[in-house]
Amino acid sequence: MLLALVLQAAAIEGMWEPSQLLSLGQPLRSAGYLDDPARLADLRAAPLGALVSLGGCTASFVSDLGLLVTNHHCAVGYLQRAQREGEDLVETGFYAPTRQDERSGGKGARVFVTQSFEDVTEKVSGKVPARTDDTQRKALIDERTKKLVAECERPGGLRCRVASYFEGLRYTLVRQVELRDVRLVMAPPDAVGNYGDEIDNWHWPRHAGDFAFLRAYIGRDGRPADYSPDNVPYAPPQRLVVSPRGVQPGEFVMVAGYPGSTERWRTAGEVSRDATLQLPAYIEDGTWALDMLESVARELPSEAVKVNVPRSYLSNGVFNARWTLEAFKRTDVVGVATARDEALRRWIDADSARAAAYGPVLGEIAARVGLRDPDFERDRVMGWVGRSDLLSTARSLYRWARERQKPDAKREIGYQARDEGRYAARLADMQASLSLEAERRLLEHFLARAIALPPGRGSAELLAWVNATGATGGPEEKARAAVARLLADPALATAEGRLAWFKQGPAAFEASRDGFIGLAVALRPYDDARERESKDDAGAYARLRPRYAEAMRAFDPARVYADANGTLRVTFGTVQGYRPRDAVTYAPQTTVHGIVEKMGPHPFDPPAALVSAIERGKWGNYADPALGTVPVDFLSDLDITGGNSGSPTLDAKGRLVGLAFDGNVEGIASDYVFDAQMARTIHVDVRYLLWYLDAVAQADALVRELGLEPAL
């Protein structure tokens, strides 16, 4: 049935699990795939055996010595953490001609190599006692999940997780090898990797060289290890073959990677809430925060390096939210979801058995979705107060101190012994992006807004803490005075201070006179209350969403793939352009000449070495025969989302021909409703990557490690 339904639908839609690809042989071949489809379902074979997650991005092995290729924007954090005093590696780029020159990507850098998937649905959600309430249901699922993860990780060297599919209708245990020594090998300057910056972001045509190289290391005993000069390169189970031929318009391409999340299984009420509450609020607050970070970078050059990465992430998120909301209005996403749910309700009501099984589900979900909305403004502002790096760290450290009082199996997920090493690494790595000036401006703004909320509508805990500081005046004056106290001499402003507090017990926190630690303790009742609400909501959804998904799958059998959830998926289609509006047609490829055509003030200021290489016009064997020059980026009709950044783009024989790095603004709402006519994926062409390494970066050793010989 899966095969028949996919043949009826557009093959481009769908983020397919590897196991589903066994049923997609005919659609794959029809689209142009030339290899054995069974290989795509084998985690130990190429290409999937070469795929890894970076914990938010995707990468792939391209040599037998642990060399990984991913996007430049996925490596910006590595650049920031690897730079030394006086350096700005994001601006200048980095290249290590030998392995001795490679630099650590930070204590928290991770590579996750997927080993297996196991269906554990019955072990997670089966045999729930009849009178279990929603909070108890959540606790039971958490208890079972922790047990499965602990058993999975017992051999050591593994990182395991339980992933939910189809709204909790199915649970899968994912086993991954966790590599902890990841080093920076090469990344071009920001003016290459991020050419066009936010002006070109999500737009076509693009000319970004969005690529970078990392390397994974292990201990000499063959096991994952923390960074050490004595470590050796990891030998991956598979590596991708690089195809210098690239790919042509109309040809088959596919992307394998770790897409983060989509919202295609959300009810109409949830989609409407996003359109009317969540997105507008995030756009408003995020725009203010983005302007603030840009002003800090502009006014204080010494802080620019620190805020560069958070500014980049926030800018991308705000742009996405703004254009998603515009797309909601243009394509009536809420109306589409409402019509779908109304049709589902009619289908349920038309049969007594269906009515008995699913009748109240939509109504109960709708009631739960709006349950917390009376406190939306309070939690909105408090959420942004909590984005302070120092305050969020203080709250987490205090939580760690309290959780350590419990047996490990009883601790909350995220606060167990298995998490301590990663959290300690995060405490050390955050120094690279910690700006006390950005902290001050963020907290003053959002604290003032929190103080100004109507009586009874704000956080009583926060207001009590502000009053206890002795601050007087209006909201702005009180906020300034309170923040001045917080930043007087913060104990958590250094990595050493944070790591020292990571060892303390609850009593030390409760006796501390440090501003951020004292505020974290004061906010604990607020945090506990929100956590109880969250657990109650999660338990309710664990009861309701599987029934909704079950009803939807029976009503609409074409809904055969689950929302993205950070697990390995494959999507396929062809290289093609699109028509965004009347009389406008976008070709599917750009070339290096477009870089020169766009030249001007930042962000269209390519490095002189790149411009000189383009003007010389020596393309070697990297030119596209039809274009007569080197292609930079190309379009496809593939179905991807955030987390797919860095995913390898593969040709009909499974060879590397590019890297996915962005989507287009016209298809930006496809996280909710996929638009086959407009949604496009933007890839950097492997020929530009190779030509840049050869002609501009003079990275001959890297070209050879990719299995090719320099041609220029």
Tell me the catalytic residues.
73, 210, 645
Q: Which strands, in side-by-side order, build the sheet including 589-591?
A: 569-574, 252-257, 648-650, 656-663, 681-685, 631-636, 589-591
529 contact partners, CB below 8 Å, separation of at least 6: none
456 burial via Cβ count (<10 Å: 0-12, 13-18, 19+) = exposed
- Residues 207-239 as b/e (b if ≥16 CB within 10 A, e otherwise) read bbbbbbbbbbbbeeeeebbebeeebbbbebebb
Among residues 167, 555, 559, 542, the alpha carbon closest in space to that of 355 is found at 555
Q: Is 488 helix (H, G, I), strand (E, B) or coil?
A: coil
Q: Is 412 helix (H, G, I), strand (E, B) or coil?
A: coil
Contact 278, 324 (CB under 8 A): no
Among residues 641, 679, 681, 674, the alpha carbon closest in space to that of 658 is found at 681
Contact 317, 201 (CB under 8 A): no
Structure tokens at 659: 């890297």
Among residues 68, 24, 205, 42, the alpha carbon closest in space to that of 572 is found at 24
* Longest pairwise C-alpha distance within the chain: 76
Contact 649, 657 (CB under 8 A): yes
The answer, yes or no, to whether the previous bond of 27 is cis (omega within 30 of 0) is no
C-alpha–C-alpha distance, residues 211 and 71, integer Å = 4
* Ordered DSSP codes for 212-263: EEEEEEE-TTSS-----TT-EE---S--PPB-TT---TT-EEEEEE------
Q: What is the DSSP letter of 276?
A: I
Amino acid residing at 539: G
Structure tokens at 583: 């009389």
Contact 552, 559 (CB under 8 A): yes
C-alpha–C-alpha distance, residues 256 and 8, integer Å = 23
Contact 276, 307 (CB under 8 A): no
Structure tokens at 117: 């998937």
258 contact partners, CB below 8 Å, separation of at least 6: 51, 53, 57, 58, 566, 567, 568, 569, 643, 644, 647
